[in-house]
């Protein structure tokens, strides 16, 4: 039976733009708490009966009928190095919508929704041994919370090639632009790799930042340096530790040296809410991940001629 975790979702939407995130906490078999952005969550269920095919990826526990659609179920415990949950009757299923696709993640148990201060989230120290599937950690009431990089998990199960149509690639190569440098801001290694590969196919140069704070520092450093080293456009994720994409956009618009920059927000979270927030913080465009042709076309439209 579904658990009504999102009944007060409108309360959580008011946190956006203030560098605060609503996280759904869950566990994978031990005391360690993990988190996922609540806006990626559709529903939480007890583990349903799963159908299995021999050709499925090792991390896919099976599939099931979710509201008339067959969706894959990833064993998140196995993906994170814990004992598999595919046959554990007490396991729970988090149904998520991510990058315009719906899938389930098996977890040991679901805890609660909490509000997390983005400024208190940081990249995990390598000594903790989380690996690439955790892109941030924070503390809540003294307990360590690890934020799962869902993009990295999904990419390991179903890697997507970065393909650009010939028409868009040709348009990128012939379009004149005074400045073909972009700042790419994203905390996910998978997402950064995809973006850099896409923009290189467009003959664009990328400067990389791993979160909004690093992105803003980079922009400040460039503003104080030679004009030839500055960027013409910022392409930023929204959900990031330290400083999210909304806060980064606001900071850019409030700085006289930076406010002329075009800002494109690129997120796995889609919908009317994001579009409204994009307008509120002063971004120029919002594109849902990952649509190479649509993203490339938007970048070409925003680059100064």
Q: To which residue do tokens 């360590």 refer?
A: 144
Q: To which residue do tokens 């790799």 refer?
A: 193
Q: Write down the pLDDT at residue 265.
A: 93
Strand partners, 236: 185, 265
DSSP secondary structure code for residue 123 in this structure: P
Q: Write down the pLDDT at residue 232.
A: 92
Q: Write down the pLDDT at residue 16.
A: 52
Residue stretches of the chain with pLDDT short of 50: 1-14, 272
Phi, psi of 98 (to 5 degrees): -145, 125
Q: Write down the pLDDT at residue 17.
A: 55
Are 61 and 104 in contact, with CB atoms under 8 Å apart?
A: no
Q: Write down the pLDDT at residue 274.
A: 60
Q: What element of type H or E holds 252?
A: helix 245-253
Q: Write down the pLDDT at residue 254.
A: 94
pTM, entire model: 0.80
Q: Write down the pLDDT at residue 5.
A: 44
Peptide bond between residue 187 and the one before it cis (omega within 30 degrees of 0): no
Residue 147 structure tokens: 């934020």
């Amino acid at each position: 039976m579904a658990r009504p975790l999102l009944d007060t979702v409108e309360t959580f939407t008011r946190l956006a733009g203030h560098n605060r995130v609503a996280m759904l906490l869950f566990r994978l078999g031990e005391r360690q708490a993990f988190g996922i952005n609540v806006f990626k969550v559709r529903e939480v269920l007890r583990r349903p009966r799963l159908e299995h095919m021999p050709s499925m990826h090792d991390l896919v526990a099976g599939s099931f009928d979710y509201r008339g659609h067959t969706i894959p179920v990833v064993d998140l415990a196995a993906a994170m190095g814990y004992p598999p949950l595919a046959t554990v009757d007490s396991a729970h299923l988090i149904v998520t919508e991510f990058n315009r696709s719906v899938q389930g993640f098996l977890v040991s148990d679901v805890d609660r929704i909490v509000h997390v201060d983005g400024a208190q989230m940081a990249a995990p120290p390598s000594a903790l041994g989380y690996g690439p599937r955790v892109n941030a950690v924070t503390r809540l009431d003294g307990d360590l919370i690890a934020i799962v990089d869902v993009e990295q998990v999904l990419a390991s199960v179903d890697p997507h090639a970065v393909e650009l149509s010939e028409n868009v690639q040709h348009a990128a190569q012939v379009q004149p632009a005074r400045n073909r440098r972009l700042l790419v801001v994203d905390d996910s290694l998978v997402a950064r790799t995809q973006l850099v590969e896409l923009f290189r196919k467009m003959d664009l140069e990328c400067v990389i930042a791993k979160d909004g704070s690093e992105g803003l520092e980079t922009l400040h450093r460039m503003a104080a340096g030679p004009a030839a080293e500055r960027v013409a456009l910022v392409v930023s994720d929204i959900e990031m530790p330290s400083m999210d994409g909304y806060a980064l956009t606001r900071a850019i618009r409030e700085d006289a040296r930076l406010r002329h920059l075009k800002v494109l927000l690129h997120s796995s979270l889609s919908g009317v809410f994001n579009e409204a927030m994009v307008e509120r913080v002063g971004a120029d465009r919002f594109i849902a991940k990952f649509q190479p042709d649509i993203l490339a076309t938007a970048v070409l439209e925003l680059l100064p001629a």
